[in-house]
Amino acid sequence: MDVVGNTLQLLATLFVIALGLVFLTAVVMFIIDTTQTQDSVRRNYPVIGRFRKLFTELGEFFRQYFFAMDREEMPFNRAQRDWVARAGSGKSNTIAFGSTRNLNFSGTPIFVNAAFPPLDDQATKTQPLQIGPYCRMPYDAPSLFNISGMSYGALSKPAVRALSHGAKDANIWMNTGEGGVSPYHLESGCDIVFQIGTAKYGVRDKDGNLSDEKLKEVAAHPQIKMFELKMAQGAKPGKGGILPAAKVSEEIAAIRGIEVGTPSISPNRHTDISNVEEMLDRISHIRDVTGKPVGFKTVMGDFKALGKFLDLVVERGMQTAPDFITLDGGDGGTGAAPMPLMDIVGLPLRESLPIVSDMIYERGLRGRIRLIASGKLINPSDVAWAIAAGADFVTCARGFMFSLGCIQALKCNKNTCPTGITTHDKRLQKGLVAETKAVKVANYAKSLIKEVEVIAHSVGVKEPREIGRRHVRIVKSAGSSVPMDVMLPRPEIRVSPK
């Protein structure tokens, strides 16, 4: 009995101490809240006013689990994320009963099934497509679906390693993003596209200018297949890359050629490119130095500038053309960007892709310049639409982040990513096991390509790049649909390049 009595007495004492600590904490918080001048709610309603901020922060997470319908959430809804999760796990992506997608929504693409589609044994796999026929080392790209630019620094080491090994397994390329190439990109032996951002990380001299010597060093890696000059990015057109100081470690600083522990902010454009002539000269120079295909990435706003650029290509000759154009949408994503730029600057890919494809086509450059679509294309229907609209390839970043385990926590810019993908916190990185996630990355890519091939067979063609605008109808505001090739007819070829 003494033991029981002593235990009860101890518990009572601990309870009183806990209550005292709670009371003391509440008093301290009360004093802080009533004396601070930044938050009116906390000043008027001390202590309990703090719950407003807590509930506001938790609201976005509760919505995705309890309140949002399958197709409601932004930037990616539950149906899209779940498809990626099942594909990454190698599970069946069949569904039952009926679609939850509203097919009456204006702009929805509907693929037109063929009366007599090819039999399964008549269909073919997606064929490789050459990029850069005028280069010393052209690239026969094996896959139509690839990994878009995500920098080491913005992504963690295990995330880059998982993407690299997954890319190798799926036989797709991986874009380095503007942060330069790291050992973790290279370790798997996958094909790599080196992106040259406005700060020229990884290929810059001590003054921040483009270095031919560094270009040659990078190009010497046989895995580096192409170079992409980043002119603009969909999530932040007119703004350079932003890497917070907390993410600039010694290793990342060495790879990029910058100082440790300082914010890595790129110029808003290339300081050595101020017009279309200089841009085309720069592309030709990088191709001459490296011997490999060179293109550029942009988001559309000024179609006149692109038209002037393409006209200059026609004037100078076919061999001077960029080997590819990566077209990002204004609805693209990034780790950190000002909200106005992410929300309202730059045309969405749904509008810009067909127009850019037609601009290339009418100048007779369709077979010379490969068009790569990028921006919120994470499911098979998105990719099939992009091919129909005129893309030769599709690249994706956030879809592959979902395959790594991203939960759309919206913490990419805070170094507190709970899944270890966009943080350099070692404790949080432990949650991301690169060897396991690499399998999911490869499964996702393979599953998506396979289902795009299924769509191609359904509309009556043998492989995805044969999908054209005639195979798609676009839903109009009244709920009826019109053929895509009627709504967006191909222009006549008006010039013949030299």
Q: Taking residues 187-200, report their average pLDDT.
A: 95
Least confident of 54-68, 222-236, 259-273, 288-302: 54-68
Residues 319, 448 within the same domain = yes
Per-residue pLDDT band for 15 (boundaries 50, 70, 90) equals confident
pLDDT of residue 307: 95
pLDDT of residue 337: 55
Whether residue 351 lies inside any domain: the answer is yes
Q: Taking residues 164-192, report their average pLDDT.
A: 95
Residues 61, 152 within the same domain = no
**Helix, strand, or coil (residue 102):** coil
At residue 243, does pLDDT exceed 80?
no
Per-residue pLDDT band for 301 (boundaries 50, 70, 90) equals confident
Rg (CA), the chain: 26
Residues 150, 18 within the same domain = no
pLDDT of residue 393: 97
Q: Which of 141-150, 248-257, 403-412 has the highest mean pLDDT?
A: 141-150
Per-residue pLDDT band for 458 (boundaries 50, 70, 90) equals very high
Q: Is the peptide bond before 75 cis (omega within 30 degrees of 0)?
A: yes
CA–CA separation, 178 and 197 (whole Å) = 5
CA–CA separation, 408 and 316 (whole Å) = 46
pLDDT digits (tens, 9 = 90+) for 217-239: 999 999 999 999 999 876 556 66
Q: Taking residues 388-410, report their average pLDDT.
A: 89
Least confident of 243-252, 393-402, 462-471: 243-252
3-state secondary structure 273-323: CCCHHHHHHHHHHHHHHHCCCEEEEEECCCHHHHHHHHHHHHHHCHHHCCC
Residues 34, 126 within the same domain = no
pLDDT of residue 5: 73
Whether residue 352 lies inside any domain: the answer is yes
Cα-based angle 269, 270, 272 (whole degrees, multiple of 5): 140
Number of Cβ atoms within 10 Å of the Cβ of 57: 9
At residue 122, does pLDDT exceed 80?
no
User: How many domains, the chain?
Assistant: 2
Q: What share of the chain is helix, strand, coil (3-state, %, to 5)?
A: 45, 15, 45
The residue range of the domain holding 155 is: 120-487
Question: Rounded to the nearest 10 degrees, how much is the dihedral formed by the CA atoms of 166, 172, 177, 181?
Answer: 70
Residues 135, 56 within the same domain = no
% the chain with pLDDT above 90: 48
Evaluate whether 141 touches 393 at the Cβ level (below 8 Å).
Answer: yes
Per-residue pLDDT band for 432 (boundaries 50, 70, 90) equals confident
Whether residue 478 lies inside any domain: the answer is yes
Sort 284 into a burial class: Cβ within 10 Å, 0-12 / 13-18 / 19+.
Answer: middle
Whether residue 387 lies inside any domain: the answer is yes
Residues 190, 266 within the same domain = yes
Residues 61, 133 within the same domain = no
At residue 469, does pLDDT exceed 90?
yes
**Helix, strand, or coil (residue 79):** helix
Helix 434-459, helix 157-170: angle, nearest 10: 40
Least confident of 141-155, 297-311, 326-340, 383-397: 326-340
**What rounded mean pLDDT belongs to the chain?**
86
Instruction: Give the CATH number, domain containing residue 155.
Output: 3.20.20.70
% the chain with pLDDT above 70: 88
pLDDT digits (tens, 9 = 90+) for 263-281: 777 888 888 899 999 999 9
pLDDT of residue 175: 97
Q: Which of 256-270, 296-310, 396-410 has the highest mean pLDDT?
A: 296-310
Q: Taking residues 364-383, report their average pLDDT.
A: 93
Residue that finishes a domain, picked among 27, 52, 67: 67
Phi, psi of 485 (to 5 degrees): -75, -15
Residue that finishes a domain, picked among 23, 38, 67: 67
Whether residue 97 lies inside any domain: the answer is no
CA distances (Å), origin 110, targets 36, 84, 383, 480: 56, 21, 13, 11
pLDDT of residue 61: 62
Q: Taking residues 338-362, report their average pLDDT.
A: 82
At residue 46, does pLDDT exceed 80?
yes
Whether residue 75 lies inside any domain: the answer is no
Q: Taking residues 343-363, report their average pLDDT.
A: 88
Spatial CB neighbours of 226, under 8 Å, sequence gap ≥ 6: 131, 132, 139, 173, 193, 194, 292, 293, 294, 295, 323, 324
Pairing label, strands 370-374, 472-475: unpaired
Whether residue 101 lies inside any domain: the answer is no
Q: Taking residues 458-472, report their average pLDDT.
A: 94
At residue 369, does pLDDT exceed 90?
yes
Residues 43, 190 within the same domain = no
Residues 149, 52 within the same domain = no
CA–CA separation, 244 and 74 (whole Å) = 25
Q: Bigger pLDDT: 252 or 273?
A: 273
Q: Taking residues 458-486, report their average pLDDT.
A: 91
Residues 50, 179 within the same domain = no
Residues 158, 252 within the same domain = yes
At residue 346, does pLDDT exceed 80?
no
Residue that finishes a domain, picked among 67, 89, 112: 67
Per-residue pLDDT band for 53 (boundaries 50, 70, 90) equals confident
pLDDT of residue 305: 94
Whether residue 407 lies inside any domain: the answer is yes
CA–CA separation, 325 and 142 (whole Å) = 18
pLDDT of residue 333: 60
Q: What is the 8-class DSSP label of residue 493? A: P
At residue 81, does pLDDT exceed 60?
yes
Residues 276, 214 within the same domain = yes
